[in-house]
Structure 1
Amino acid sequence: MLGSELEFHQGYRSTYRIWDEVLGEAWPIEKGLYESLLQEKKMIAIAIKDKTIAYISYEIFECEVSIYVIVVVPEHRRSGLATTLLNRVMHEAMEQGVNKATLCSFLSSPLWRAMPKDRVEAIAFFLANDWVNKGSSLDQICNIERYESPAFLARKHKPQGMDLGFVRPEETNVLLDFHSRYFPHWYPFYKDFIDQGKYENIVVLRINNLIVATCMLHYPGEIFSGSNWVKLMGPDCGAPSVLGVANEHRGGSLAFFIFDFAIKKLKVKGAKNAFINQSDAAAIYGRFGFSVAWDYVHLSKYISI
């Protein structure tokens, strides 16, 4: 039985050994990248004679606490360690006035954006602790080495005056106004790219010189949401992301045209695979050859004293 021999450590400790032992086969990640992703997050670890046997990584925000990962070494599972760690974090959050907990926050999680469905025991653990299944999502991937525009695209109507290309330096204020109006939650991402001068990472679709749709591109070797799983994606992976069409121009084929253009640009830049993190349009991307890479479940819980 475990008891007084347990040591609790608050703050980051190197836990890559445990990750690699427990999850490394299914979710391989480079040690340096793993540690860089977690070292700025809050952590509680449990050790015996200074050897870590379990840990939880998390972050407390103004409105919620986000649990990123809980790992227990196999020989100490079902001994209450995961529950102990989770309860400590919930208590800390409640003391700060937070009443909601999420698993793998979409915007801030360093590893997953939701719980992978292949972690069956972990999902069962959270459900047993009164967490609620709030839905599912998925990642998609496609080999684009021989990518060509799908046949159905030739049958789609192209609006008169349509133009596709990278954002121009003189258009940056217009682009930011576009996102401030239509997609304010994406504004910081586009602003960051513009501040870095990464104009060729931003694709725009114009109609009569007016920006009506945008898409961000992440080329091979760049960091993007989900790029920590590059060992699973295959070599030279790029990613299209945050594709949006102005409200008054939806219902047509603009999303198809800008996505096709984006994939071709990734291919030109040397991408052999293209990855879509937390896809919300799986059926659409499937028409371009994308298949499901991983499924996820979204779990959350309201907490109170």
Structure 2
Amino acid sequence: MWQVKPINARDLPALEALLHANPLRLSTLPPVRDQLAERIAAAQQGFAGLDSMATLLFGLHDEDDNLHGVCGIQPYAGGDEPFYSYRIDELVHASRHLGINQRQSALYLSHELTGLTSLCSFSLTAALRPTPVFNLLSRSRLLYIAAHRHAFADELICEIQGIWDGAGQSVFWKSVGELFFGLDFITADHQCSLHGKTVIAELLPPYPIYTTLLPETVQDAIGQAHPATQRTLNWLAYEGLAKTRFVDPFDAGPTFRGPLDELTSMQAIRTVSEVVTGTVEHPQTWLVSQGEGVDFRCAMVTGEVRADGLRVTEPNAMINGAPSLILPLEPDAMRLPQEGV
């Protein structure tokens, strides 16, 4: 049975191997064992309720408890420091005497998104990305949020990786950030993951950057997502998150945003009083979550809603008579049976 639960210290070697195998770099999770150990320890503090600013990290495990994926939530983006983005705006340059009126695109350094809840740190074994466990890992975070709603903001954001070249370098960073940092993209991204994004405010210019002064290939990359993120983009669109004017200050990848309680999955989550084994007439796949904090678990099961409970086809770890949150796995199964049916 596939299961998502908080990552702990035992997952450290497998997490390091997973990140090294991922073609996309995660700035929130540098693939360095000592730094990962610190991230895991901080996440455990967050799950225990001792640090509301810590990034929460969840692991996808198989029935033998092997780690195959990771995902995260920042309850409040930026934590105890500003969360920086570039905001794409337009400046009007006009001359009545010459009859000229032009709009010029410009990037403004912004921390407007600070304090919103952020989905982050998603990495899944390549062979599993086309399978249903992609939805389990992605949407388990929404079930966790629903179980701890008071601990999260009213709006959700998600930054998506931007365009990188074959060597793992950002074409945007090469023409913008590297001029002020004096570091290539990989080095700068790693340093920020170690020391926080305050270095962005220290080194990047606070003045608007006219995109028309950048090479055309760089202009084309602004706000564009890496091709490997297409399934995540599809999922964000399904949930109702919209692309914003904000882009990542390192690779200019897009940021998506939406009201948390209006997401498709959040509106479909419901509570059942128990999960039991029995005969199922109309089976469909469900995500089931139980527990809070470090005891949170989310599993994928086959079953159907009966009255106020969920009846499943075979015994599993989620059957213990406890109240559970449930969510249909597939988009076409979002219509829930009425109470008492």
TM-score (structure 1 length as normaliser): 0.40
Higher relative contact order, chain-length normalized (CA < 8 Å, sep 6+): 1
